[in-house]
Structure 1
């Protein structure tokens, strides 16, 4: 299958219970494409196993009715996704939402898939009455930071991301809604 086709070949839909088989392996691939060279090793593998294995956090979150998911797929195969949940980080803000993940396979970068997923996330957060949309981003992920800035997000703080025994600096970004 040619996964370098145009955005017109991509369909978007909400997640279904059966996506627990197909989505985590793609999510793991995207995470590895993005961060594997920087964080490879046993700790990276353990993190990925805990997140993307059949009983991992992603599978549990896919079953959570309070978490919103939007999947981008080509010919029924996921090429990206967005995950939206209530914001529980700092700074605290009642009713705010978090775009916890917006991941797209690298072959689809620059083709509008992430744009469509971002529009879904903003629209969904607005529909849920959220005053703001938050996200966290690895401080050295310049491509992602440019994308978020283009969509009205700005940095408002920082938080820690732990991978094994290492603690990394992630940045908290916020987009006011309304």
Structure 2
């Protein structure tokens, strides 16, 4: 599995991966109106605006077609010091990429890119019931730092902030 920095041409595929993976995993938890409101905030213009910022970084992986992506950006999470912290904003793979090694390759890029950007630590949030993701992050040295609310439309989810030093 190959991982590379994303280009602007990858944004529509990134959007597809996000929507497909998020809905496959979580759609059953939400009222359709809440899910639609949440997904509606992720417009083409929103993806392009983040991609254009120097404090964000995107990578895609899996070859052709792209099967997963990761997005780093400025930390907005509680329970970790802001200074020196970069946030893993999104880390999504399509189901057909599970078990291929792509997740590990993307995580290697995440950790290398965070260090290259001078981060001292990396933080992320994960849904309390997403045990598969928690096990994955635990393997890479992330530890639970405390609760955070993640809004999907008007529905508050209980997530946990996870962090590791670099």
- TM-score norm. by structure 2 comes to 0.92
Number of equivalences: 165
* Aligned: 1:106 with 2:56: no
1:6 match: none
Q: Which runs of 4+ in 1 moved over 3 A?
A: none
Structure 2, gaps ≥5 residues long: none
Q: CA deviation at 1:117?
A: 0.5
Q: CA deviation at 1:163?
A: 1.6
Q: Cα 1:50–1:88, aligned 2, differ >3 Å: closer, same or farther?
A: closer
The CA deviation string for residues 82-108 of structure 1, in whole angstroms up to 9 with x for no partner, is 001121321233121111111000111
Distance 1:59 1:140 in 2: 31
The CA deviation string for residues 41-73 of structure 1, in whole angstroms up to 9 with x for no partner, is 11102211222x323x33321222220111013
Q: Which has the higher mean CA deviation after the structures are superposed, 66-75 or 96-105?
A: 66-75
Root mean square deviation, CA, Å: 1.5
1:143 match: 132
Matched-pair contact (CA < 8 Å) for 1:156–1:174: yes
Matched-pair contact (CA < 8 Å) for 1:24–1:59: no
Matched-pair contact (CA < 8 Å) for 1:87–1:95: no
The CA deviation string for residues 98-146 of structure 1, in whole angstroms up to 9 with x for no partner, is 1111100011112111111111111111112211110100111000000
1:85 match: 73
- TM-score norm. by structure 1 comes to 0.86
> 5 Å matches for 1:7-46?
10-46=1-37
The CA deviation string for residues 8-36 of structure 1, in whole angstroms up to 9 with x for no partner, is xx332111122223321222111111111
2:121 match: 132
> 5 Å matches for 1:39-78?
39-51=30-42, 53-55=43-45, 57-75=46-64, 77-78=65-66
